[in-house]
Amino acid sequence: MSGRTYVSAKINGEQMDFLCEPRQSLLEVLRDELGMTGSKEGCNNGNCGACNVIMNGVLVNACCVLGVEAQGGTIVTIEGVASGEDLHPLQRTFLDDAALQCGICTPGFIVAAKALLDKEPDADEARIRHWLAGNLCRCTGYDKIVHAVLDAADVMRKTPAKV
């Protein structure tokens, strides 16, 4: 019964149709079927956050979701965070604040932080640390990541998002 199932979902604003096996995770579908390798696999069991995407408005680990569950849903991945040449403020502050070293966890952190700031634009350091506890980084010690999120929040408060 491992036939492939037809799934239709809106990914980064575009309607996409794909076939996947029910046992394939959303992460496998994004990376292997759709060629969107920005979401990373660090643990494949929901403990590192490298595969974070926003699904139907909430932050999820794509490794803990079946691809077939995306049917009819909307998904935002790291590939959809910038709009064209305009980086998202988080992407800008991660660069300016040196908040990445090897960069493997960066897509997950940016997607997770975006989900936070979309919901809570005034998040403080304690809230940011709490929200990001599901995202592991082994290079930075988190200091510059937390600063980058605080700085992005500041930028976003000063310049309301373009429609």
Partner 1 sequence: MQAIEYIAPASLAEAIKVLAHHGGAARALAGGTDVIIQAREGRRNVSVMVDVKHIAETTELSLSPDGSLRVGAATSCARIYDNAEVARLFPALIESVSLIGGIQIQSRASLGGNLCNSSPAADSIPTLIALAATCEIAGPGGKRSVAVEDFCTAPGQNVLQPGELLVALTFPAPKPHSGAAFERFIPRNEMDIAVVNAAASVTLAADGSTFESGRIAMGAVAPTPLFVKAAGDALAGRPVSAATIDAAAAAASAAAKPITDMRGSAPQRTHLAGVLTKRVINKAVERARGA
Partner 2 sequence: MVIENKPKYKVIGTRPVRPDGIDKVTGRAQYGADIHMQGALQGRMKRSPHAHAIIKNIDVSKALALDGVKAVVTAQDLAGPGGDVSTLPDAAQNILASRKVLYRGQAVAAVAAINDHIAQEAVKLIEVEYEVLPHVLDVRESMRPDAPILNETMRTRGPNPGDGATNIVAHTVAAFGDIERGFAECDVIVENEFSTKMVHQGYIEPQAATASWAPDGQLSIWTTTQGSFPAREACAQLLNHPISKIKVTPTEIGGGFGGKISVYLEPVAALLSRKTGKPVAIRMDRIDVFEGTGPTPGTSIKVKLGATKDGKFRAAYADMAYENGAFAGSAAMYATMVITAGYEIEHVKLDGFDVVVNKPRTQDYRAPSAPAAAFAFEQLVDELAEKLKLDPLKLRLMNASKEGSRGPMGMPFKRVGHEECLEAALNSPHYNPPLEGPNRGRGVASGFWFNVGLRSSVNVSVQPDGTVNLNEGNTDIGGTRASLAMQLAETIGVAFEDIKPGVVDTDSVGVNDVTAGSRVTFASGMAVHEAGKNLIKELTTRLAPTWQVPVEEIEFEDGTFKTKDGAKSGTFKEIATQVVGRGVGLTVSGSVNAGFLAGGGFAHAIVDVEVDPETGKVTILRYTAIQDAGTAVHPAYVEGQMQGGAVQGIGWAINEEYYYDESGRMANSSFLDYRLPTSLDVPMIDTIIVEVPNPLHPFGVRGVGEPGIVPPLAAIANAVCHATGVRQTQLPMSPRRILETTLGIG
Residue closer to partner 2, measured from CB, 55 or 100: 100
Binding map of partner 1 across residues 128-147, x = CB under 8 A, - = no contact: --xx-xxx------------
Nearer to partner 2, 72 or 141 (CB): 141
73 binds partner 1 (CB under 8 A): no
Provide, rounded to whole angstroms, the least separation between the CB of residue 162 and partner 2.
Answer: 18
CA distance 137 to 99: 10
Q: Does 19 bind partner 2 (CB under 8 A)?
A: no
Residue window 60-99: x/- pattern of binding to partner 2, with contact defined by CB under 8 A: -----------------xxx-xx----x--xx--xxxxx-
Q: In terms of DSSP bridges, do strands 74-76 and 58-61 run parallel, antiparallel, or are they unpaired?
A: unpaired
The Cα-based distances of 134 to 14, 71, 86, 130, 162 in angstroms read: 28, 26, 27, 8, 29
Site for partner 2 contains 20 (CB under 8 A): no
Please check whether residue 12 is in contact with residue 27, taking contact to mean a CB–CB distance below 8 angstroms. no
Phi and psi angles of residue 6, each rounded to the nearest 5 degrees, phi first = -85, 130
Compute the distance between CA of residue 98 and CA of residue 103 in angstroms, rounded to an integer.
11
In the set 7, 26, 40, 123, which binds partner 2 (CB under 8 A)? 40
By C-beta, is 92 or 134 nearer to partner 1?
134
* β-bridge mates for residue 17, sequence order: 8
Binder of residue 70, out of partner 2, partner 1, none (CB less than 5 to 8 A by kind): none
